[in-house]
Amino acid sequence: MIDLRELRDDPDRFRASQRARGEDPTLVDRVLAADERRRSSATAFDRLRAEQKQLGKRIGQASGAEKTELLASASTLAAEVKAAEAAQNEAADEAQQLSLGLSNLVEPGVPEGGEEDYVVLEEIGAPRDFAADGFEPRDHVELGRILGAIDLERGVKVGGARQYYLTGVGALLEFALLRLAVDQAVGAGFTPVVTPSLVKPAAMQGTGFLGQAAENVYHLAEDDLYLVGTSEVPLAAYHMDEILDASSLPLRYAGYSSCYRREAGSYGKDTRGIIRVHQFEKVEMFSFCDPADAAAEHRRLLAWEKEFLDKLELPYRVIDVAAGDLGSSAARKYDCEAWIPTQGRYREVTSTSNCTGFQARRLAIRMRDAEGTRPLATLNGTLCAMPRTIVAILENHQQADGSVRVPRALRPHLGGRELLEPSAK
């Protein structure tokens, strides 16, 4: 949720942010109008309530005809107070609902435009020259079959489209990635957390996933619970309705969870393999910090993501995501995209977002320092999303015989093996 005082002070800045996102700038004016109605109705209610209290004192001191007259006035005034309270509540609800529709204020310098208007900030490592190595690369589906690592047919048989089994060295590879990611996060001072996969509506709404992203959320209507698409949701809500001491910040958590996404609107996209699936596991970094330190914390999260990809010896690039592709909560987002040889393109494997005070306001999470109590900032960053990371490892480190070289950092978590070798089956 945006800061209404900032909105009143500088509405043009918010209109510009809405336009940069490709969203409706007139919503700013509707929010301002609703906020004015809320404030004026609150003033009217307070005035009538004060009159009612004053009248009550006079009634207590009156007698006879005067008291009868005052009691009649009190009855009329009580009806007016009730009507004013209803008008105040209605105006407050309208203002609340409209402001929930406003996306976070875009950070200065974010590229304008949509999904294809990102800016490449850097490229790390060079895509491998398979022609020089003397063979045509296999895609991860074929490699997964050769290694006995990925079983797509039984995944579809049991769970339907976009479902899969990781088997044998595929499962071991995921466990190794989990261990490597958790070890790095703990070494950097993060508290490891295994988060719930089911959350209440307040957690989903508070993190902004019931707006633009609602179509990709699984809702269990009978229980009114949601399956999370990322552990960002339960991590953000972990301190919901709490006031944190500023001296304890930053609070950093590394959450591990299953993630569930409907992938609505992705018909025909990435239907082969495990690039785009309904369920996957992920290690997510999350930070609660002072808003003054949020931009620096964002860069730190990006640095930890890059460190992890460097350990996996993958070629990748970092992009500054355009405003129209940010998602409603993010003020700025950086993606790391690994090179996928058989697709001849970079694909997102990690992402980090600075959500400033947007989620904290919605979740009523505040910090207390010498200046008082105020919203803090929340940031998130994927350390390892398992399926796409596995795809990148298999395709980039494959050998001509179908084996896959294990990056050095992963070897201790795979029993010391240097190669994933074709299954004997």
**223-241: per-residue pLDDT in tens?**
999 999 999 999 999 999 9
Tell me: cis bond preceding 108? Omega within 30 of 0 counts.
no
Is the pLDDT reported for residue 124 higher than 80? yes
Asked if residue 386 has pLDDT above 90, the reply is: yes
- The model's confidence at residue 424, banded by pLDDT at 50, 70 and 90, is low
Confirm whether 362 is a catalytic residue. no
At 247, is the secondary structure helix, strand, or coil?
A: helix
The model's pLDDT over 12-42, given as tens digits with 9 standing for 90+, comes to 999 999 999 999 999 999 999 888 888 888 8
Can you tell me the mean pLDDT for 244-273?
90
Point out the catalytic residue in the list 38, 138, 300, 388: 388
Residue 408, helix vs strand vs coil:
helix
- Give the domains, in start order, of the chain with CATH numbers: 4-100 (1.10.287.40), 119-420 (3.30.930.10)
Does 348 qualify as catalytic in the annotation? Answer: yes
User: Residue 51: its pLDDT value, please?
Assistant: 76
Distances (CA, A) of 349 to 319, 384, 390: 12, 7, 10
pLDDT at 382: 97
Does the pLDDT of residue 425 top 60, yes or no?
no
pTM above 0.85, yes or no: yes
Beta strand residue intervals within 276-342, DSSP E? 279-289, 316-320, 332-340
Q: How far is CA 353 from CA 2, 46, 226, 246, in A?
A: 16, 41, 22, 21
* Residues 42/49, Cβ–Cβ less than 8 Å: no
Among this protein's residues, is 261 annotated catalytic?
yes
Chain centre to alpha carbon of residue 32: 27
Give the percent of the chain with pLDDT over 90.
Answer: 75
pLDDT of 268: 76
pLDDT at 151 over 80: yes
Residue of 261, 361, 362, 366 marked active site? 261
Q: How confident is the model at residue 340 (pLDDT cuts 50, 70, 90)?
A: very high
Instruction: Pick the catalytic residue from 123, 348, 374, 403.
Output: 348
What does the mean pLDDT of the chain come to? Answer: 92
Q: Which of 39, 49, 145, 276 is flagged as catalytic?
A: 276
Of 103, 231, 257, 351, which residue is the catalytic one? 351
Q: What is the mean pLDDT of residues 367-391?
A: 95
User: Which of 212-236 are b and which e, b meaning 16 or more Cβ less than 10 Å from the residue's Cβ?
Assistant: ebeebbbeeeeeebbbbbbbbbbbb
- Reply yes or no on whether 351 is catalytic: yes
How many contiguous H segments (helices) and E segments (strands) does the chain have?
Answer: 13, 18
